Homo-oligomer: A and B are copies of this chain.
Amino acid sequence: MPTQRRARSRTFEEVLAQIEHRIATMGLTVGDRLPGERQLAEQLQVSRSSVREALRVLETLGVLSSQVGRGPDAGAVLTSHPTTPLTDLLRLNLGLATLTEQEIIATRLMIEQWSAAHHSTAASLRTMGEALAAMDTAAAPEEFVDQDIAFHVALVDAAGNRLNSAIMRALRNALRQYAVEAVTRLGHTRDLQADHRRIYEAIAAGDTTASVTAVTQHLARAYPSTAIG
C-alpha cells in the first residue's frame, strides 16, 4: 500500500544491457562502431524504437555519437565526452533548485585547490600562459571569461585526473553566465589577472603551498559573496 514503485524491466533497458555487455566482452572502446539501428533491432528481436531509446540514453551519457549518411564515419560510434552529461546535469539541477551556485562554487574551489597541490605536467603551463595573455587583450567580458575558463581548466588538467577535469569543465560551463555577469558588474579584471599571474608563477616555480594559497585567494576574490575557505 505504500505504493511501492517497482522498476519495470523495459525493453530499451534490456537493449542497453546488451550493448554494455558487448562493450565489455568484445573490448569495444572509443572509435568503434555499433551495428545500425535496424540491424541491432533484428539481432535483439526488438523494435527499432526501443533500440533508438537505448542509443539515446548512451548519447545522453556522452559515450555515443550518431552520424547520418553512409560510410565509415556514419552510424553510431563510441566516444567519450563526459563533460556534456555533467554540464546538463548541473544545469538541470540548478533549474530545479536542487543544487545551488554556492555548492558548485565550493566544489570548484575544492578541485582547484587539489589540482594546485597535485600539478605534475609541464605541458599545461603553456596553455595557461596563452590564456593569461589572451585575457590581457580581451575586449568583452565573454571573451575574458572564456579565457579565464581555459586558464583554470588547464590548471586542473595539469593534475592529470580526467574525472576532475571533466567535472571542472562542467562546473565552468554551468556557471559561465554567472561569471560573465560578475565580470560585467564588478569589472575587476586587473585584480583577477594579478591573481592569475601569482597562480601561474607559483605553479611554474613548483611551489605547492604558494599555489594553493594563490588559488584560494583568487576564488575568494572572484566570489566575494560566497563564504568559502
Contact = CB atoms under 8 A, between A and B. Distances in A.
Interface of A: 3, 5, 8, 12, 20, 23-24, 28-30, 49, 52-53, 56-58, 60-63, 67-68, 73, 78, 80, 82, 85-86, 88-90, 92-93, 95-99, 103-104, 106-107, 110-111, 114, 161-164, 167
A26 to B, nearest CB: 11
5 contacts: A30-B96, A56-B60, A57-B60, A61-B85, A86-B86
A106 B165 CA distance: 12
Given A57-B57, A60-B60, A110-B114, 7 more contacts: A20-B92, A29-B98, A30-B96, A30-B98, A61-B88, A82-B99, A106-B164
Given A3-B73, A53-B52, A56-B12, A110 B107 contact: no
B96 A63 contact: yes
Contacts of A30: 96, 98
Contacts of A24: 95
Tell which of A96, A104, A161 has the most Cβ of chain B within 10 Å: A96
A157 to B, nearest CB: 13
Which 3 pairs between the two chains have the least Cβ-Cβ distance? A80-B98, A60-B60, A110-B114
A89 B78 contact: no
Contact of A67 (B5, B53, B82, B161): B5
Contacts of A107: 161, 163-164, 167
Contact of A95 (B20, B49, B73, B82): B20
